[in-house]
Structures are given as structure tokens and as C-alpha cells.
Structure 1
Amino acid sequence: MAKSVVRRIDIHHHFFPFNLDKAKSNGEVGWRTPAENLPWTPQTSLEFMDASSISIAILSFPAIASGSVGQENRDLARGRNRAMAELCRAHPRFGFFATLPFLDDVQGALAEIAYALDELKADGIGLSSSYGDGANATYIGDDRYDPIWAELDKRAAVVFLHGAQTPSSTPFPHAFLGLPITEVPNETFKAAAHLVVTGRKRKYSNTRIILAHLGGSTPFLAARVAVLSGHMGCTLSPDEIIEDFKSFYYDTALSAHETTLSAMETFVSPERILFGTDFPAASAGMVNWYTKNLENFHAADEEKLNNIMAGNALNLFPRFRHWID
């Protein structure tokens, strides 16, 4: 008897408008978007989805930390969200996480949250780990963003949190180790840790936050934060800090391997793991390597695998259930 095909919901799938295609060989970032995925069109993703047994893909605009407060930035976010909403209407197999104006524009961000969720029916909100450049970057647990978190919490919104492409002092170690490889995962961890030690993850617990790429270094550094941040003045106990790290959701994009998946098995409950690909920033070949690792690791537990591939996502996005059932 043939093994049934596991249907998938890809919660980490990027929207690449044409003006981003020119960035495929950006030396500062140190990453080449696979040439076969450019110029990106919805059909590029749909063909990949069909070949990969992906029923639904939830689009997000790539995390961009730079920007400025002003009407131009508000209009840019509004235009991107309208474009994603229009694409989803044309192709119902897509959902989307809305992007926001530069986050220091708190009133602009609040207005876009309302418009995106109420009018465009976005499936959630996409956030970068920090906003601003260099020493002026501000992580998302900062006091100034409190009204934004309060609004997201009131709405029990799903938030997709992706690390910013923030260079280190190097700015990255080698041409083979660009920002998306070495820095972006650690930026995700820093943002998650910032939300935890400032108490905002606990205070705004109705907000369902997904950390990209299995949280980057989060599973391995959470215990370090649990004790050492207390020494530096954090009022949460080590157990409370670990508990708050466990309350995030984690996607598998470009991260599934025996080592990382073993760590996640002891770190979070099974319903916290979601399937993701990072297509079209990554090629089908890259994605398939990680997907095969995920399938092999959970080969003995079909129910757990099915939940990671789709079931856990359906608990966050029940409107897609008819595509899976």
C-alpha cells in the first residue's frame, strides 16, 4: 500500500516584488538569491509548492530594519500589503503576514495593523528583530513599541518574527558565511531574548509569536539568558525565563537537522513546531534537503510529523483547513 502524501503549510515563504530582484548579488548582505527563482512571480512559488506537496504558503516581506518615520514609509508598507492581499485573492493558496512601516512610527504601525487585519484580512503581522541601523538599532522589546504590542495582544494576533540582516563588526566572517547564514539567526535569538527579559513576552501572552529558523540560536542560549540575565538585574526567575522561551512557536525553515530537531524535542512541546521553507530566497534543492531531514527524524511518529507539516499551523490559521482535509 502506497504511503499517503503529507500535505504541508509553509509559514515561512517570502513575497519578492520585482524591485527586490536587483538585490540578488548584494555584496553587503552576502547572499545570492537562486537565479532560477528570479524574477519572482506567484507562479514560481506555485510550481514549487505543487512539486513539494505544499497546499498553502503564507507570504511575508523580507525583514528590513532600516527606514525612517514619515508618510513615504507608511505608503510603502501600505502598497506592499495591498499587493500581497491582491495576490492572495487571485491565488487562494497564499496567505500573508502584513508588513509595517518603520516601527518608530508607532501611530503609523498601529494604523497599518488595523488596516491589514480588518480590511485586508491578513493572517498576521511580520516584524523584524530590530529597527534602525548600527548603534541606532532598537530591538522590538523596547519601551517605545509597547503600544504596538498592546494592540497585537488585544487582537491575539499571530506575529512572524524574522531576524534582521544586521552586520557584525566583521561584518561577516567570510564570503561563504554571509549575513543570512551567520547573523540573521542570532538576531532572531536577540529579539526573542529581549522580549523575554523585558517581560513583554509574559505581559502580552495572547500574541502568538513565531520565531523564524527554529529561533536561530535560541534553543542553545535560552539557559544562558535564564541565569545570567538575573545577575544583571532581570527580575524573572530562571524557570520563568525558560517558560517564556518555550511559549514561542518555531519554524523549521533552513534549520531541520538531527542535531537541531533533537534539541527542539527537549525544549518545546510538539505543537510549537511549524513547517517553513524560506522559498524563494532558498532553492528547491536546499529546501528539500531540510524537509527530508525533518521527515527522516520523525519517520517513526506519523502523527507528530503531520502536525508539524500542517496540523500545528491549522491551529493558528484555521481558515486553511479545507485545503488539508
Structure 2
Amino acid sequence: MAVPVRRIDIHHHFFPAELNKAKSNERVGWYTPAENLPWTPEISLKFMDAACIDVAILSFPAIASGSVGQENRDQARHRNRAMADICRAHPRRFGFFATLPFLDDVEGTTLIFPRRALAEIAYTLDELRADGIGLSASYGDGANATYIGDDRYDPVWAELNTRAAPVFIHGSQNPSSTPYPHPFLGIPITEVPNETFKAAAHLVVTGRKRKYADARIILAHLGGSTPFLAARVAVLSGHMGCPLSPDDIMDDFKSFYYDTALSAHASTLTAMEAFVTPERILFGTDFPAASGEMVGWYTKNLEQFHSEDDEKLHNVMAANALNLFPRFQQPIIN
């Protein structure tokens, strides 16, 4: 029997074994649920079946620093091929956002970005049939981090715009000066959402969100602090020299898509309804970084918020995403 797509999870991570999440999480103050490690597609499929999720769009975690060079390029290619293999094995259950080599790639003293990134975009979208591209909010360490609205990344945005590609932006795991306030408030809890906001604001005030409007950019975690700080940027950045008007800036912030992963609550969803039009909200979970129980709490909030409007709930859960990823339009056959 054919049944319609119920839920599309556009924020679902791919954790390859070599990432060693149990170890790599120690420095950022977060513990991936033990039952999700070592991660396999079967762990995600079990969760998806229990959570009534028909499709998950895989993305590699936002890692924005490390050793540039051939090893990193090979890692990106290997990870993209691995995600493509999962999608081929389960074509109606998984899609993926391709990951790119570190954007500040060099050979000797020569910056070879964007050539490497453009090559990976072409390979993953044209040959591996990726559903979009995943980017980190910034690239580089600490004070040397460069946000993705920087001039040097313009060729990548031009290419993504030409292709009208879906682009998934996830906050970088950059520590603050603390590096985080408390063991209960690790970097993924407090810093990652703010990094997403900074990336979005950078794209807006540099004019790249407006210039490359055909690239369909999705911000993780309801954009972090974006809905609450956008109006601050609208006026104060003009005082600092931004040529865009406050209304232009607000319009550009409203043109992003926003996923609900680890963010859905009556307070945040009410703010989003006042901030963007309904088709801009997409369902996301952050599994396997989060447990099924954590995801369930946010999903319940989302369902309760739209309990009197089944159509709006369906749009958030699936229909809005189907407009971005139409290959999943075909009903699933049980």
C-alpha cells in the first residue's frame, strides 16, 4: 500500500567510525548517547521507524579546523562516498549533504581554495547525486576563524547559487573565552547556536545572502539566536557602515530556512511564526548526537504547538522539505 511521506528529518548526522565521537566529544563538553555509538545506518533506521521518520538527510558534523592538505581532501571524498553508499543502499530512506575539504586549503604558500571545494561540489552533486552541500559556520581556529560570508569564499557561493543548491549551515564548535560557562553548558549547548547566528549575520551584512539568493540556505537549530538578534543587526550594523537598510536586512534574514532540531518549544516556535513565513520551517532531530528521548521531547512540543492545524504540522514535518528535495515526493511503498 502506498502511503505519503510523514516526516523528513533534514538534520541527521553521519558519524563514521574514524570520527571516534566518544573521544572527540570530550573537548567540547558533550556526550553522544552511548546507545548510538558506534553509529551505523541501522541505528538510524531503528530510530526513524520508531519516530515515524521516512527520510533522513545525512550530514557530516561541522568540523571547521584541522590539518589542510591531501589527507583532508581524501577524507572529505571518502566521507561523501560513504554517505552516497548509504543512500544507494536505502534510496527511499536517506539523502545527504556533501561535506567539503577545509575551505582554507593551501599547497605550500598558495591558497588553492576554491578550486578544491568547487571540484568537490561538482563531483558530489553531479556524480554522487548529493541532495545539497553542508557547510560549517566558519573555518579556522579561534581568532583566525573566517566566517562563510568572507570574500575568499565568493566563488563557492556563486557556484551554489548557479545550481540553486540546498545548503545546510551548522554552527562551528568554537569555544568562547570561558571556554564554556559550566560542565552542564558545553559548547554544543551554548556556543554552536551562536556560531550559526554569526554565520547568518555575516552572509546578510556582506550582501551575499541577497546576491546569491538562489542558494537555498538552511540554518540549524532554528538559526540559534538569529530570530532574536536579527533586529539588532538590522539597525546597528547600518550605524557601523552596512549599506543595507534595516528592512533589507530583516528581509534577508527571513529568506533563510530554519530547522527545528533541539529547538522546538512554544516560546521559540511562537517567535518563528512572527519572524518567517510558514514554508521556511523544516523538521530536524540532530540524531544520533541526541537520543531518541531528547528528540521525542522536542517533537512532542512541535506537535502540541500545531495541534489545531494538521496542515501546518504536515508542512513543517514533510511538505516544506519536499519542496527542497522533490526526489522524495514519490510515496513510499510498504
TM-score (norm 2): 0.94
1:41 aligns with 2:40: yes
State whether residues 25 and 32 of structure 2, in contact with CA within 8 Å, keep that contact through their aligned partners in structure 1.
Answer: no
State whether residues 33 and 281 of structure 1, in contact with CA within 8 Å, keep that contact through their aligned partners in structure 2.
Answer: yes
Local SS of the residue matching 2:161: helix
Q: CA 1:25/1:131 → structure 2, altered by over 3 Å: closer, same or farther?
A: closer
Letter in 1 for 2:312: K
CA deviation vs aligned residue, 1:135-189 (integer Å, no higher than 9, x gap): 1100000000000000000100000000000000000000000000000000000
Shift of 1:96: 0.2
CA distance in 2, matches of 1:47, 1:238: 46
State whether residues 136 and 170 of structure 2, in contact with CA within 8 Å, keep that contact through their aligned partners in structure 1.
Answer: yes
1:309 aligns with 2:308: no
1:271 aligns with 2:271: no
Which one of 226, 229, 233 corresponds to residue 221 of structure 1? 229
Shift of 1:23: 3.2
Local SS of the residue matching 1:234: coil
Structure 1 residues not aligned, in runs of 5+: none
Counterpart for residue 84 of structure 1: 83
Structure 2 residues not aligned, in runs of 5+: 105-112
Counterpart for residue 298 of structure 2: 290
- 1:124-139 correspondence to structure 2 within 5 Å: 124-139=132-147
CA distance in 2, matches of 1:149, 1:205: 10
CA distance in 2, matches of 1:108, 1:320: 30
Counterpart for residue 99 of structure 1: 99
State whether residues 7 and 53 of structure 2, in contact with CA within 8 Å, keep that contact through their aligned partners in structure 1.
Answer: yes
CA distance in 1, matches of 2:4, 2:116: 44
Q: Which moved more, 1:15-24 or 1:41-50?
A: 15-24
Q: CA 1:316/1:169 → structure 2, altered by over 3 Å: closer, same or farther?
A: same
Percent of paired sites with the same residue: 81
Counterpart for residue 168 of structure 1: 176
Local SS of the residue matching 2:268: helix
CA deviation vs aligned residue, 1:191-247 (integer Å, no higher than 9, x gap): 000000000000000000000000000000000000000000000000000000000
- 1:3-14 correspondence to structure 2 within 5 Å: 7-14=6-13
Aligned residues: 322
Counterpart for residue 207 of structure 1: 215
State whether residues 6 and 53 of structure 1, in contact with CA within 8 Å, keep that contact through their aligned partners in structure 2.
Answer: no
CA distance in 1, matches of 2:170, 2:102: 15
CA distance in 1, matches of 2:120, 2:4: 39
State whether residues 258 and 282 of structure 2, in contact with CA within 8 Å, keep that contact through their aligned partners in structure 1.
Answer: yes
CA distance in 2, matches of 1:25, 1:229: 36
State whether residues 6 and 306 of structure 1, in contact with CA within 8 Å, keep that contact through their aligned partners in structure 2.
Answer: no
Counterpart for residue 108 of structure 2: none
State whether residues 62 and 170 of structure 2, in contact with CA within 8 Å, keep that contact through their aligned partners in structure 1.
Answer: yes
1:158 aligns with 2:160: no
CA deviation vs aligned residue, 1:278-319 (integer Å, no higher than 9, x gap): 000000000000000000000111100000000000000000
CA distance in 2, matches of 1:240, 1:324: 41
Local SS of the residue matching 1:26: helix
CA distance in 1, matches of 2:45, 2:233: 41
Local SS of the residue matching 1:188: helix
CA distance in 1, matches of 2:264, 2:5: 17
CA distance in 2, matches of 1:151, 1:231: 32
State the superposition RMSD in angstroms.
1.4
CA distance in 2, matches of 1:292, 1:5: 21
Counterpart for residue 264 of structure 2: 256
Q: CA 1:140/1:268 → structure 2, altered by over 3 Å: closer, same or farther?
A: same
CA distance in 1, matches of 2:290, 2:315: 24
Local SS of the residue matching 1:228: helix
Shift of 1:24: 5.0
Shift of 1:20: 2.3
TM-score (norm 1): 0.97
Q: CA 1:17/1:206 → structure 2, altered by over 3 Å: closer, same or farther?
A: same
Counterpart for residue 152 of structure 2: 144
